[in-house]
Amino acid sequence: MAFRGFKKAINDANFSVNISSNGTRSIERRLSEGGFENRRCYTDGFENKSNTSSYRGSGSGNNGGRWKRGGSFNNRNGGGRGYGKGNFKPKHRFVDDDDDGDARMRDEEHLHRSNYGGSGFGNKERDRDESDWFKVVVPEGKKHNRDWLLNKIKQIAKVSFEEVDYHTFKDNIVFFLKGQMIADAVQSASNIVTTKDGSKLFFTVRPSRPPNNNINKDEKKSSSNTSVETSPEKLEVLKTFLGNRYDVKLVKLDLSNISSEKILFENRIEGHAGNFKFMNTIFTIINSICPQLKSLDLSHNGITRLNTLEFLADKCPELEELNLSRNQIRFSGELTKIASNKKLKRLFLNDNPFSDNYKSDNVAYIAEIRSKLPDIEELDGVVLPKTIKCDLLSESVIPESKPAYTENQDALKLIATFLENYYKIYDSSDASYRQHLLGAYHNDAVFSMSLNTGISSSSKSHSLNDYVKISRNLRRIRERNIRHQLIKQSKLAVVAFLTELPTTTHKLDSFVLDIPVVTPSCLVFTIHGVFLEKKLNILRGFSRVFVSVPETNSQFLIINDELHIRNITDAQLAKFEIKPIETKEQELLSETKQQELIKQFSLHSKMNLKWSCDCLVSNGWNFEQAATKFTELNNLGKIPPEAFVI
């Protein structure tokens, strides 16, 4: 019954399927007058032998292909690509995202061939070219300087290469190399390059398609001076198109949503802002007709990369405003390709993937744009605050450097005494003794600490990893809540944080003291020097900024404390020697002796243990000196009653 039903359906249909002796199948449609038309033959392998239809297509590849509108197949595994003719005009599409997140656009040559005919066989030369490209991905490489990174890789790999399409994706660095030997040499350098913080640099090197801007420099140079081979008729169409969109009064050209332009569609012109040759033709016409163009609108064009705008400065030298809003630009690094437009002052970038990432942080958004285009004055229709620049006139003479700076000798003596007492307590063998620094801080004191990994010596640099988690480096920490957590507020929080830092011995003879601000209401001083980290027995460099406010009895309290830690320089390393580290027995003996001194001093002075300890610590555990200081202050009545044992 099922077979008879199927046979009846075939007989009732207006087409028939015939199978020949060699396995070839044919489909024939009956005409109402009799006879057949639109014959199409194929085999079980889907190899197209003939096609008299008005829609022709071909495909090649081991595992067949995927049908596309316009009469073409994209093979999935092996083989080349097939292209065919069709009456349907395909829209431009984005192909799969690359593994670093870029949206790749099909080659412009592919687009033209798919519309106007082409071979069904793969381009062997192109396939060979694709296999010779490799993509290098450096995880979290954004924090490294580009020149430093590339020079280090070349130095370790012992090979010279020219990186292509160097850009950032999130926190990663991505670039392309050409050549199997170069790729192997670069891969061998992974996990060997040492970064400035002592960690090893890891990266991957994998075969890849050619990068989007795979145009060598000679080709780019010639492309900037030549346009597409367009017939005179189509050039006139393009001029008409530009004339319709040009505003004479505003000296503005509207090239938004080019692909929907009716006049281009009717004249079979492939118009797209991502097509290098098409845009070069457009800019060449603009340069010949209106070189004084002031404003250009390229919004709503699906632009992902700005390769087509690299020669914009040559073609439109007077351009002041550029609208790139509502596109698909995913990386701020693309803006470097229009950095040569020195007269560009107004820029629109809203509604692009990368700009949307900054919706909650407008300050970071402006800073990111200005890092690529420092002369921009208006962004997304908002006038930006003026940048503060410190330009020196050519005839200005920079004064000689001084080892230290202060204009107030009284302040210098006061601060020198303070620092000596401060670091006697800070450098105690037990970090918990730093709690005695509470008296040096204001109730509303604020503290923060950050690392400086930009300084290294020729000797082996010691890792700063122990400090990374508590470092408030604003260039690396983007999250506001984490930035806020790393600020210690109130003197209790500040001193508690200091007690958690490693025990140290500061080299007082290494201190360089600057006192830039001395006023009745504020005292600012900075210190640069060296300290020994006892646990690891290694030297570190540091800088510290104190902001203090006056207190009663000619005293002052620290209200802001900022600490920077770094590796030491070669000069500092040569000057200071590292002494052998004390044993645990010596440390325990020292602590035991300190406790005995405290009890003995309390017995003679009648002060409680806390005040006795403070007096001894402030005098470097010198019993006689502490006793002399106690007698002096006690005779002056400067020791409060609560200091004594009741």
Pairing, β 346-348 against β 321-323: parallel
Q: Would you say residue 270 has pLDDT above 80?
A: no
- Cα separation, 606 vs 558, in Å, equals 30
pLDDT tens digits for range 574-627: 777 655 545 444 444 467 788 888 888 888 888 888 888 888 888 878 888 888
pLDDT tens digits for range 358-371: 888 888 899 889 88
Long-range contacts, 100-106 (Cβ 8 Å, 24+): 100/135, 100/137, 100/169, 100/172, 100/174, 101/169, 101/170, 101/330, 102/167, 102/169, 102/174, 102/212, 102/304, 102/305, 102/330, 102/331, 103/304, 103/328, 103/330, 104/209, 104/212, 105/212, 105/274, 105/304
Q: Range with the lowest mean pLDDT among 111-120, 147-156, 165-174, 360-369?
A: 111-120
The average pLDDT across 106-127 equals 38
Phi, psi of 178 (to 5 degrees): -125, 125
Structure tokens at 368: 């990111």
- Cα separation, 323 vs 590, in Å, equals 71
356/447: higher pLDDT = 447
Instruction: Place 25 in a pLDDT band, splitting at 50, 70 and 90.
Output: low
Is the CB of residue 540 less than 8 Å from the CB of residue 566? yes
- Cα separation, 631 vs 626, in Å, equals 9
For CATH 3.10.450.50, the residue range(s) in the chain are 406-576
Q: Where are the alpha helices (DSSP H) in 515-635?
A: 570-575, 584-605, 609-618, 623-635
For CATH 3.30.70.330, the residue range(s) in the chain are 133-207
The average pLDDT across 545-564 equals 88
Q: Would you say residue 184 has pLDDT above 80?
A: yes
User: In the prediction, which pLDDT does 499 show?
Assistant: 92
User: In the prediction, which pLDDT does 537 show?
Assistant: 84
Instruction: Place 216 in a pLDDT band, splitting at 50, 70 and 90.
Output: very low
Phi, psi of 602 (to 5 degrees): -65, -35
User: In the prediction, which pLDDT does 457 show?
Assistant: 56
483/57: higher pLDDT = 483
User: In the prediction, which pLDDT does 562 show?
Assistant: 95
Structure tokens at 126: 């192109």
% of the chain surpassing 90 pLDDT: 18
User: In the prediction, which pLDDT does 395 show?
Assistant: 59
Q: Is the pTM of this model over 0.75?
A: no
User: In the prediction, which pLDDT does 564 show?
Assistant: 92
Structure tokens at 252: 């503005």
Among residues 479, 475, 421, the alpha carbon closest in space to that of 450 is found at: 475
DSSP reduced 3-state for 566: strand
pLDDT tens digits for range 510-545: 898 999 999 988 999 999 999 988 888 888 889 999
Among residues 61, 176, 71, the alpha carbon closest in space to that of 130 is found at: 176
Among residues 446, 503, 506, 497, the alpha carbon closest in space to that of 469 is found at: 497
Instruction: Place 392 in a pLDDT band, splitting at 50, 70 and 90.
Output: low
119/304: higher pLDDT = 304
Q: Please state which architecture CATH assigns to domain 406-576.
A: Roll (3.10)
pLDDT tens digits for range 48-102: 434 433 333 444 444 444 333 334 334 433 444 444 434 434 443 333 344 444 4
pLDDT tens digits for range 403-443: 788 878 888 888 988 999 999 999 988 888 899 999 999 99
For CATH 1.10.8.10, the residue range(s) in the chain are 592-643
Q: Where are the alpha helices (DSSP H) in 13-136?
A: 108-116, 124-131
E strand intervals along 552-586 = 555-566
DSSP reduced 3-state for 281: helix
Class at the top of the CATH hierarchy for domain 232-383: alpha beta
Q: Is 51 left (phi over 0), alpha (psi -120 to 50) or beta?
A: beta
In CATH terms, 592-643 corresponds, of 1.10.8.10, 3.40.30.10, 3.40.50.80, 1.20.1070.10, to 1.10.8.10
Q: Would you say residue 330 has pLDDT above 50?
A: yes
What is the Cβ-side half-sphere exposure of residue 169, based on CA atoms within 13 angstroms? 15
Is the CB of residue 594 less than 8 Å from the CB of residue 612? no
- Cα separation, 644 vs 630, in Å, equals 12
User: In the prediction, which pLDDT does 385 show?
Assistant: 87
Q: Which CATH superfamily is domain 133-207 in?
A: RRM (RNA recognition motif) domain (3.30.70.330)
User: In the prediction, which pLDDT does 323 show?
Assistant: 94
554/256: higher pLDDT = 256
Name 314's Cβ contacts closer than 8 Å, sequence gap at least 6.
Answer: 224, 287
User: In the prediction, which pLDDT does 167 show?
Assistant: 86
User: In the prediction, which pLDDT does 130 show?
Assistant: 44
For CATH 3.80.10.10, the residue range(s) in the chain are 232-383
152/117: higher pLDDT = 152
% of the chain surpassing 70 pLDDT: 72
> Rounded mean pLDDT of the chain?
75
pLDDT tens digits for range 231-242: 788 888 888 888
Tell me 395's DSSP state.
T
Is the CB of residue 173 less than 8 Å from the CB of residue 166? yes
- Cα separation, 127 vs 388, in Å, equals 52
Q: Would you say residue 558 has pLDDT above 90?
A: yes
The one-letter code for the residue type at 103 is A
Among residues 288, 398, 297, the alpha carbon closest in space to that of 348 is found at: 297
